[in-house]
Chains A and B, each alone.
Chain A
Amino acid sequence: MATDAGVLLAQATGIALQAHALSKRFGRKVALDAVDLTVPAGSVTALVGPNGAGKTTLIRVCMAFERPNGGMVEVDGVDPWKHRSEALRRVGYVPQTPAVYRGLDVDDHLAMARSLHSGFDAEYARKRLNQLGIPLDQRADTLSGGQAAQLGLAIALGTRAKVLLLDEPLANLDPLARREFIQVLIDAVKSDGSTALLSSHIVTDVEEACDRLVILGAGKVLLDCPLEEARQAHRLTDSKSPPPGGVAVGSFAGKGLTRLTLWRVPADAGDGAWAATEPASLEEVVLGYLAAGRGTTGLQLN
């Protein structure tokens, strides 16, 4: 009953995934520190952060692989820890490293997925793999890294899940394979109307695929906003003097020896706010927030 209510609420509010005060510790190490997160339905959200930021832990909590120490998380209105089968029925998951069975061929993987997931659409997954020219009778352990990642994505898409959780699927791929993967993902999300949360520590990879950005650092959400807003609301200077109305976010090493400071500037700031600043790229926005997460704000610099 609680699950049904949660699902209805999620559908009414258009929220595919949400976390509130979500915490996870491993011994003394805090992996997630009171994370608040909202992923709107139909969005492709980039979950960006350095290694050890908590990206994988967040996704694992959503997959019910890890039990949270506090707070709540809901996937399409379902708490994955309390109602695991219900939650996993709504989730397509691509693990961090391409997980393939060495002794099985590609088609065996689809057969296995079908035997495990009642709603698995093997034909759909097969079609996607055919489009990519991946032979179904090829042994999975002979696939290239890109092909193995595409197989993982095809399996996740074959579940026809409402929410796709992709845990750094691009990390081990070459640039061409990364581009292909992202193209397939964008195409699938658009055509299926699903929601994707794509974690990565490479900002340029997710820039073209995502419409929303979540920056995670040291287990905390440092920024959660639409991608366009992230670009427009931040400016960059090479000095410590703030633009009018601007709030320093963080300072980091720019190209050469210059030290750059990222400023958050309100949309209604006067013309003076823009005059002395440069527009920030998405990578610079991320760098600024990560620097802030480490406690190196512009005000603390020399």
Chain B
Amino acid sequence: MRARIILTFKQHRFETVAVTIVSVGLTVAALIEAYRLNSLNVPLSCLLSYHGDFVDPSQGPITAAQAHCNELAKSFFDTKQSLDMNLVQLLLLLVPLLAGIVVGAPLVAREIEQGTAPLSWGLSGSRRRWLLGKVLAGVLLLAPLMLAVGLAANVLEGALSPGLNPYASFSNYLGRGVIDVFWALAAFAGTFALGTLLGRTMPAVVVALVVCFFVRAAWDSGMGHFVLRSFAVPQVQQDQQNQQIGYVVYGPGGPAFADMTLYYKTFIDGKEVTDAQANAWYAQNMVCTPIPTPSDSTSPAEAGSPGASSSPGAPATPDYSNMGNGGIACQGPTIDPSHMPQQIPYVIPGSWYWQIVALESGILLLGSLFCGAIAFVWVDRRRPY
């Protein structure tokens, strides 16, 4: 088996070298970018108080220390939003999938295309053993390289979001860490299965690219809807703990929590209500009056911006859709806030990072095994040309 693995590397020399160079290069690039951010040594408080070029006159004159702090934060965010940083982040997301596709596509398909399959299959009593040698070579190549890429992505994630523990947060968690290995293996297994079915390399690559794109795009919502939903807990229970541990991620968009928010529930006086019931409550209790111009609108929090609604324990966002185009201003009810509708986010706490990564990695692994099984069955049945 060892000889077969080494020969597979030799046989697929181009793919092996290309994937190795790209993966190592990306790992180094991610670590350099992380170093660039870390070397700025921006205190968390500066990131938190960052106000950009906007100066609020009501806050009084800016001190030299505040200006310096603001400059530091600005340089941090400029680096964070630079082109090369975005490129590295994009590649960190794509490379595990692309590496799996590049290594997987020619594994069987090229043998069939180039007419070498009859030679190998004529020598080997068991085509499955033949395929196993090739698959092991692919796994041995991809696993360590993607682990390196994933770990570098974790380091970068930590640098991008100071105060964040990458191993206890769901911020970008599908594009970093151990799960990168399983993304690559899933793409690899799916692509070599396609190559075995189609017997052609390029069609296998094209189909694999399309399938991977859709699977990756649908993964978040699919997992949230079908798998993780049942594990979600009300964030209000976790919030205090999160704050104590310091799970808060800071960025230009404001603070966000390390938890994975899956859905919201609205309660009035401790009783769960539907959105329609909450809207009915607001219609009864809000006081709305026409205002002269649309520019004199209410503050974002009152207008129901996402930032406001994501804040745990905040009042539910009223539905203003039938209130015209900014011509009406509404004021909240003058009753005890504890009796107002409360919108509670249901989340997977960041502290469950490893369990969720293990779960999703397991699902990806199962998918890989399923695709592999198809290839192993089909290779035994198909013609070698």
Contacts and interface: CB of A to CB of B under 8 A. Distances in A.
Nearest to B13: A103
Given A103-B11, A112-B7, A115-B4, A120 B118 contact: no
Nearest to A156: B122
B119 A155 contact: yes
Contact of A108 (B10, B121, B124, B385): B10
A104 B119 contact: no
A113 B13 contact: no
B216 interface: no
Given A99-B115, A115-B3, A88 B11 contact: no
Contacts of B12: 103
Interface in B125-144: 125-126, 130, 133
B125 A66 contact: no
Contact of A85 (B119, B126, B133): B126
Range, interface on chain B: 20 to 34
B384 interface: yes
B237 interface: no
Q: Considering residues B1, B11, B120, B125, which has the most beta carbons from chain A within 10 angstroms of its beta carbon?
A: B125
Contact of B124 (A88, A95, A102): A88
Nearest to B120: A116
Contacts of A86: 125
Nearest to B8: A112
Contact of A117 (B3, B13, B123, B384): B123
Interface string B95-131: 0000000000000000000111011111111100010
A112 B115 contact: no
B124 A63 contact: no
A111 B124 contact: no
A88 B126 CA distance: 9
Nearest to A91: B122
B346 to A, nearest CB: 54
Contacts of A231: none
B254 to A, nearest CB: 54
Interface string A141-166: 00000000000100100010000000
Contacts of B11: 101, 103-104
A103 B10 contact: yes
B118 to A, nearest CB: 5
Contacts of B130: 116
A177 B163 CA distance: 73
B225 interface: no
Contacts, number: 75
Interface in B366-385: 383-385
Contacts of A116: 4, 120, 123-124, 130
B130 to A, nearest CB: 6
Contacts of A112: 3-4, 7, 120, 123
A102 B13 CA distance: 10
A223 interface: no
A65 B383 contact: yes
A155 B123 CA distance: 9
A130 to B, nearest CB: 21
Contacts of A277: none
Contacts of A103: 10-14
A179 interface: no
Interface string B1-44: 10110010011111000000000000000000000000000000
Nearest to A97: B115
A95 B123 contact: no
Contacts of A155: 119, 123
Nearest to B127: A84
Contacts of B121: 65
Q: Which 6 A/B pairs are nearest by Cβ-Cβ distance? A: A85-B125, A93-B122, A116-B124, A99-B119, A116-B123, A115-B3
Interface of A: 63, 65-66, 84-86, 88-89, 91, 93, 95, 97, 99-104, 108, 111-117, 120, 152, 155, 159
Interface of B: 1, 3-4, 7, 10-14, 114-116, 118-126, 130, 133, 383-385
13 contacts: A65-B121, A86-B125, A93-B119, A99-B115, A100-B116, A100-B119, A101-B114, A102-B114, A103-B10, A104-B11, A108-B7, A115-B4, A115-B133
Given A115-B1, A115-B3, 5 more contacts: A85-B126, A97-B115, A99-B116, A112-B7, A115-B7
